[in-house]
Structure 1
Amino acid sequence: MNQYENTYLTIEDLISFPTLSGIHISDDGKNAAFVKRTADWEENTYPNHIWIYEKDKGECYALTTSDIEGSSPLWSPDSRQIAYLRSVGDGDEKKNQIFVESLDGHSSLQMTDKKEGVSQFKWEPAGKGFYYVAPSKEPEEIKKRKEIYGDFHHIGKEYQNHSLYYIEINDSSSECQEKTERSITYQLTDDKDFHISEFDISRDGEKVVFMATPSPDAEDDQNKDLYILDRKSRKLHKVNGNKLLGGSVCFSPHGTKIVYTASIKEKAHYKTHIRGNTLVIYDLISGEHIQPLTDFDSTVMPIRWTAKGILIKWQDKTNCLIGLLSEDGKVSMVSETKDCFIQDVSITENGEHLAYSKATPNETFEVYLDDKRITNENHMFKGKLKSNREVISWKSSDDLEIEGVLSTPADFDPHKRYPLLLLIHGGPGWASFPIHSGCFNDKYPVEQFIEKGFIVLEPNYRGSSGYGNDFLKANYRNLGIGDCQDVISGVDALAERGMVDKDRVGVMGWSQGGFISAFCSIYSDRFKAASVGGGITNWRNHYVNTDIPSFIKMYLGDTPWNDPEIYAKTSPMTYIQSACTPTLIQHGEKDARVPTPNSYELHQGLKDMEVDTELIIFKGMAYSADQPTTNAAIMKQNLMWFSHYILGESMKDFRVL
């Protein structure tokens, strides 16, 4: 027997889990492309490489390797070439540019040479060029100001919008030449008025629909508008509407209609209320807006409008599903209805063929072309023990039904009482799923916790997505308090089933999960240890430090100046004098969404209350780490923290891991 057959995946194994994204199917249905992100431990990076599957050859291979990274692969309309974004340059000057390659591998052409880089792009429908989005140039007056006065930033007044461009291919030769010899570039939108987020092109290439905000400021996301651009005349038509826009928009096959995501209620409602999204179809000829899914209690995203209908994706509890929507509101399922998580999906124009990534319970993601699996990422588990993940449910203290994902060991004993760890997802509009995936959890080593003897519960607390709009709004003006009820009731439910030792329970989470962990560990004395990752601890202070204060108003209903009581009631620091839970605090130094003052305040408060605490600030890290070794440190610190305070193991190597 192999010495590793009775072990679980190591922390290094968990961090090395490949992440699959950017899936795109060729329009002839024969080939698929996708991006695989892996951990390069020697270079301490997470490189992205493009992989190709050719149906005729029946093989999957890497298109980009070594130091050449790629993202956003898109097949040409004739399915003979593939375009993608590739980093060019050195250091801070390294930017994404559009490259085109043929399948024979003998030609590679750099299409753009944009100093500011390219953020997204699409083929012109006839393959004659590319539409792309790129940051605007730094204004000359700012450059001159820097030379005279040095560098400073006028907050809320200076930004570089993303503009829409079109680059026309003049030479169809496949030999690699300089971009300037082959193409002409046109700027289609004013970089002072529009920050482009999403766009689509009509099949005839004559019209572009795009979503735009006045600036890239995160707060301006509430001011997103929809525009139709006539490419030849450059005339703009604003699509009137009084709803917050979502993140997807598509043209109909004939170019006379568009479908997009928008909030259920009016914009004014969401200044102080949580939003749910639905689909809206807009008729360019009549100007009529219709909502085809009035009884669909889930946020829906349109992927592509095909000859067979609109391919849509939505979440149903712990499932992510896809189906084809007709204009009369009927949905025909394309995926299974349960035990299915589809992450990325691409469909041909005729609606006949699909490429997608899917995970089923207790597995990680694989890529499929139609019904054929073309990857083998689950080989990571070969010869290893693996936790069993199942969805359970319980009633919270106010009788609200809560679901969660319970992870137990391969040799689980139903008659044994296990130490329990609560792992709280972020969001709050997100959820935990019964699958294995590094892209959903790169900070907490569930498999290592299981090997240590814990079981792990991931509650989908009130406010989680996938459970309907009423559940999504159930934490309105109830943050922390209702969440804590949901978490603790889950502990009690497992204890009543005889599975959990109530005296050995820990809680952890990042971002919103960090906030809930902080609230639970301070508001309650039920936990032996806690870990707060990038968490909010004081809503009033957080309101003036975060880059999205509107998020807080949406959940708490007002500003801290108009309603200081609700800000105090829902802040962990309000209850700091009752704190008694040893707490590990971890935070990215450059996290703009949840800035570090939250963690410094919690750390000082716990020290003043003489509660065991450690504060770790990860240099250069924002919300997530871009180095595998940083994630390894985060995971190992958490493993050591809970092993010490709940299992009694030593902490002597904590500082050096």
Structure 2
Amino acid sequence: MLKTSRLVLPLLAALLAPAAFADTHGATDPRIQALLTQLGKVREISDVALSPDGHQLAWVVETQGKPGIVLADADGKHARSVGLATKPGVCGESGIAWSPDSRHLAFLSNCASTHAGMGGSKQPELYVLDTQSQERPSHLADLNGYAHALSWSPDGKTLAFLYVEGATRRASAVAAAKPAVGEIGVEGIEVQRVATVSSQGGSLQQVTPANSYVYEFTWSPDSARVAYVAAPAPGDNNWWIAQLYVQSAKADAPRVAVVDPNTVHGSLHGLQIALPRWSPDGSRIAFIGGLMSDQGSTGGDIYSVSTQGGAPVDLTPGIHVTPSWFTWTTPQSLLVDQIDNGHAQLADYAVQADRAQQQRVLFTAPGYIGSGGAILALSFSADYKQIAFAQSSFELAPEVYAGPVGNAMPAAVTNINADLKPSWGKAESIEWDNEGFHMQGWLLYPANYDPSKRYPMIVNVHGGPSAAVLPHWPAVGYGAAPFSALGYFVLMTNPRGSFGEGEAFVQANRKDFGYGDLRDTLAGVDAVEKKLPVDDHRLGLTGWSYGGFMSMFAPTQTQRFRAVVAGAGIANWQSYYGQNLIDKWMIPFFGASVYDDPAVYAKSSAINFIKKVKTPTLIVVGERDAECPSPQSFEYWHALRTLGVPTSLVVYPNEGHHFYNPVNQRDVLQRALNWFEKYLPPGK
């Protein structure tokens, strides 16, 4: 029966979706269309790179739907488009990386390509721009697949990158899964490897083993070796059991397993590792280890291990912040970008053999910061005296920031989105305590807030659960800020399980999904209601991924929420275990497989308490979601429909866990806005 159901559901989704998109359930509030138009005006900044000498700055910005490269002085002056694009919006260029001599900028471009790539678009190729010459960029290598994470060797002789030869999709679990046809788990497996090419051009060499899927890598200081995090294919599933390896940067070279979290003793056992970084003297490798629910959403303690292997050392045990990105500055110091109580901050750490101690916080950012690639990544000059990144917040749309590293955040050096102003209300950080834990969240006031009126409130639960809400400017797609523009309070919580309060806080909802974190969230609702005119009879709940699970589960535990939108949710952890393509993530959180401990999965499954649900629920999901498969949404929708609870299910064709089609990005947000207006009218 399960095999039959799995084959029928994608067809059913395809049949349902076109009809569903034909009608958005009644007249649309004109404010929604205006809001969608405003959100569509933001130009996203995806990469920022400061040259090693600190004199030049490059960034990738979207123009007419396509990414393009801009080169400027370090202060943002004399900005000009570079690359092969003859006019904006016709092709895409990205993936920028500076050479150590600060003269050459490597990038990916499909502007001159004649080969088909993923999804029928042109195949990107590898180029190098001499920034001190008037010549066009030089073609470095033809590619036949998906490439990203360009990185020059420290000696400047070689360019390395992550590469999936013959790729049919992005190398990410959030991308749309391949159709489930053929011999499952055997046919069509795509493997991401470290590839290299000489800086003078030539043939591409795939360095790491053909049966090992590489997630991240880094060069050794002497340019002779690479360290990388890898696991057997398939890559979407096995990041949670990945190991740290070191090998020569040559094809077919033997490798050494430096850290295996599955067998080590101590605090790292059974957890995940990310961001390996060689110390400047080449003697050891630092990395982040912790309970992480998604590759790319990094947080935990900072560990160190000898490059020869041995027992890793937790350098930051017991800290009450969450390091998410870091870089060595000397063999005895680190710069760490960390999450603290819902804020991103850059801190300086002194490193000893067995301890890294925070010395000072250099600055706390008002919003989300990053330079592309890993979460909260930053770009520095080689002497670490200059810094650059992109930032956005609830108040400010994305811009590039750059300047000296000191005791204050640098200023914006661009005005790419300067004309955009928020149509939502003001943002406020709120804090509360519950059951011995300290919590933080972000509250958006309704647009045009009048303290003499009472307002509905929508609670938004973030995905993960190992993640955190940080202030950011919303783009078209599913998010929380647009609800504020229509007259709602919006509460975005960071309950137990979130980054920002230390690793013990992250691990506090292990084997307890939907219980302690729900109580934390409800305590946050109570804290808001004590100080602001929120109508407790007009509370809504929404979220995506883990937030989608909470949107399905919470109405089985409480009747406080009067309307729900569940995005890419999970209704039944027991059936989910056998349906999703990333089941390896579950054992660190549940303690065992569903076959060894079905009870721990059953206790957090909404479907087992479904008769308690009375809340009108809109359910949305991508047809080819590998992380939270559409059968989970079908199961929840089917139950509510059978029980007579108002519900609607919309399945978006060819979308994965993350929606890429702009039409679908707009539609899913518009439907959610309409749903809450119907069941939680803000003007009441």
Shorter chain as denominator, the TM-score bin is 0.7 to 0.9
Q: Which amino acid aligns with 2:479?
A: Y
From 455, 469, 473, the counterpart of 1:418: 455
Quote the residue 2:256 is aligned against. Answer: 237
Residue pair 1:8, 1:451 contacting (<8 A) in 2 also:
no
Paired residue for 2:569? 535
Counterpart of 1:313?
A: 337
SS in structure 2 of the partner of residue 325 of structure 1: strand
Equivalent position of 1:513 in the other structure: 547
> Counterpart in 1 of 2:128?
100
Q: Structure 1's 561 and 166: CA in aligned 2 closer, same or farther, altered over 3 A?
A: closer
Aligned residue for 1:278? 301
Quote the offset at 1:136 in angstroms: 4.6
1:54 aligns with 2:92: no
Quote how far apart the aligned CAs of 1:346 are: 0.9
Q: By how many angstroms is 1:307 displaced?
A: 4.2
CA drift at 1:54: 1.8
Task: Specify the alignment match of 1:90 in structure 2.
Answer: 116
Letter aligned with residue 58 of structure 2: A
Q: Map residues 350-389 of structure 1 onto 2, 5 A cutoff.
A: 350-359=383-392, 362-370=395-403, 371-382=410-421, 385-389=423-427
1:557 aligns with 2:591: yes
Deviations 1:621-640 (A, max 9, x none): 11122122211111111111
Sequence identity (%):
26
User: What residue number does 2:467 align with?
Assistant: 430
Q: CA deviation at 1:606?
A: 0.7
2:183 corresponds to which residue?
153
Structure 1 residues 245 and 479, CA gap change in structure 2 (3 angstroms): closer
Conserved in 1, the CA contact under 8 Å of 2:50 and 2:74?
no
Q: What's 2:369 paired with?
A: 342
* Alpha carbons of structure 1 residues 219 and 355: separation in structure 2 relative to 1, 3 Å: same
Change (3 A) 1:361 1:185: closer
Aligned CA-pair RMSD: 3.1
2:346 to 296, 317, 322: 322
In structure 2, what is the equivalent of residue 206 of structure 1?
224
Question: Cα distance 1:389–1:105, how it changes in 2: closer, same or farther (>3 A)?
Answer: farther
What does residue 175 of structure 2 align with?
A: none
Aligned mates of 1:648, 1:23 — CA distance in 2: 40
3-state SS of 2:147 partner: coil
- The amino acid across from 2:336 in the alignment is I
TM-superposed CA distance for 1:285, in Å, is: 6.8
Aligned residue in 1 for 2:161: 132
Q: Distance in 1 between matches of 2:501 and 2:159?
A: 39
Q: Residues 257 and 309 of structure 2 are in contact (CA less than 8 Å); yes or no, is this contact kept in structure 1? A: no
Unaligned segments of structure 1, at least 5 residues: 1-5, 41-45, 139-149, 171-181, 651-657
Q: Which amino acid counterpart does residue 300 of structure 1 have in structure 2? A: P
What is the DSSP-based 3-state SS (H/G/I as helix, E as strand, rest coil) of the residue aligned with 1:606?
helix
Following TM superposition, by how much is the alpha carbon of 1:392 offset from its aligned partner in structure 2, in angstroms?
1.2
- Is 1:247 paired with 2:263? no
Cα offsets for 1:319-341 (capped at 9, x unmatched): 11223333222434463146454
Cα pair distance change 1:30/1:555, threshold 3 Å: same
- After TM superposition, the structure 1 = structure 2 runs for residues 171-250 of structure 1, keeping only pairs within 5 Å, are 182-192=201-211, 194-231=212-249, 234-241=253-260, 242=264, 243=268, 244-250=271-277
- Give the letter aligned to residue 546 of structure 2: Q
The residue correspondences of 1:3-42 to structure 2 (distance < 5 A) are 10-37=35-62, 40=64
Post-superposition shift, 1:529? 1.2
Q: What secondary structure does 2:302 align onto?
A: strand
Measure the CA separation in 1 of the matches of 2:193 and 2:472.
38
1:22 is paired with a residue whose SS is strand
Cα pair 1:209 1:229 within 8 Å, conserved:
yes
Contact 1:423 1:508 in 2 (8 A): yes
User: Structure 1 residue 247: deviation in Å?
Assistant: 2.1
Q: Structure 1 residues 509 and 105 mapped into 2: Cα distance closer, same or farther (>3 Å)?
A: farther
Could you say which residue in structure 2 is the equivalent of 1:141?
A: none
Which of 278, 285, 288 lines up with 1:258 in the alignment? 285
Counterpart-to-counterpart distance in 1, 2:309 and 2:623: 51
- In 2, distance between residues paired with 1:600 and 1:287? 48
CA shift, 1:560, in A, is 2.8
Change (3 A) 1:590 1:56: closer
User: Cα distance, 1:289 vs. partner?
Assistant: 4.6
Greater displacement, 619-628 / 29-38:
29-38
Question: In 1, Cα distance between the equivalents of 2:42 and 2:217?
Answer: 32
Judged with a 3 Å threshold, the aligned counterparts in structure 2 of structure 1 residues 289 and 424 are, in CA distance, closer, same or farther, namely: closer
Question: Do the aligned residues in 1 keep the contact of 2:300 with 2:502 (CA within 8 Å)?
Answer: no
Secondary structure of 1:314's aligned partner: strand
Q: After TM superposition, give the deviation of residue 581 of structure 1 in Å.
A: 1.0
SS in 1 for 2:599: helix
1:396-411 → structure 2 map (5 Å cutoff): 396=434, 398=435, 400-411=437-448
| In structure 2, distance between residues paired with 1:613 and 1:129 | 56
What secondary structure is seen at the aligned counterpart in 2 of 1:51? strand
Pair 1:597-2:597 in alignment: no
Contact 1:101 1:107 in 2 (8 A): yes
Post-superposition offset of 1:432 = 1.8
How far did 1:434 drift? 3.6
- Give distance in 2, aligned partners of 1:610 and 1:512: 25
2:593 is equivalent to residue 568 of structure 1: no
1:420, 1:504 within 8 Å by CA — same for their partners in 2? yes
Q: Are 1:511 and 1:534, in contact at CA under 8 Å, matched by a contact in 2?
A: yes
SS state at 2:537 partner? strand
Q: 1:114 — aligned with what?
A: 143
Q: Taking structure 1 as the reference length, what is the TM-score of the superposition?
A: 0.84
- Give the whole-Å Cα distance in 1 for the aligned partners of 2:518 and 2:305: 42
Q: Partners in 1 of 2:578 and 2:348 — Cα distance?
A: 43
User: How far, CA to CA, are the matches of 1:648 and 1:392 in structure 2?
Assistant: 22
Tell me if structure 2 keeps the 8 A contact 1:586–1:615.
yes
Whether the 8 Å contact between 1:361 and 1:390 is mirrored in structure 2 is no
Secondary structure at the counterpart of residue 509 of structure 2: coil
Cα contact 1:307–1:351 (8 A) shared by 2: no
Secondary structure at the aligned position of 1:362 is classed as coil
Q: Which residue of 2 is the match for residue 654 of structure 1?
A: none
* Structure 2 equivalent of residue 43 of structure 1: none
Q: CA deviation at 1:388?
A: 0.3
- Give 1:521 deviation, angstroms: 2.6
Alignment-mate amino acid for residue 643 of structure 1:
E
Q: In the alignment, residue 423 of structure 1 is paired with which amino acid?
A: N
SS at 2:39 equivalent: helix
Q: Secondary structure at the match of 1:90?
A: coil
Q: CA deviation at 1:361?
A: 6.0
Letter in 2 for 1:25: L
How many residues in Structure 1 have an aligned counterpart in Structure 2? 603
Instruction: Give the distance between the partners of 2:418 and 2:588, measured in 1 at CA.
Output: 44
Instruction: Summarize the Cα distance change of 1:560–1:133 in structure 2 as closer, same or farther, 3 Å threshold.
Output: closer
2:534 match: 500
Deviation by residue 1:276-302 (Cα, 9 ceiling, x = unmatched): 732223334796754432343444245
Partner in structure 1 of residue 507 of structure 2: 473
| 1:294 has 2:317 as partner | yes
CA 1:282–1:475: 2 relative to 1, 3 Å: closer
Tell me which residue corresponds to 2:92.
69
- Could you say which residue in structure 2 is the equivalent of 1:145? none
Is 1:303–1:346's contact at 8 Å kept on the other side of the alignment? no
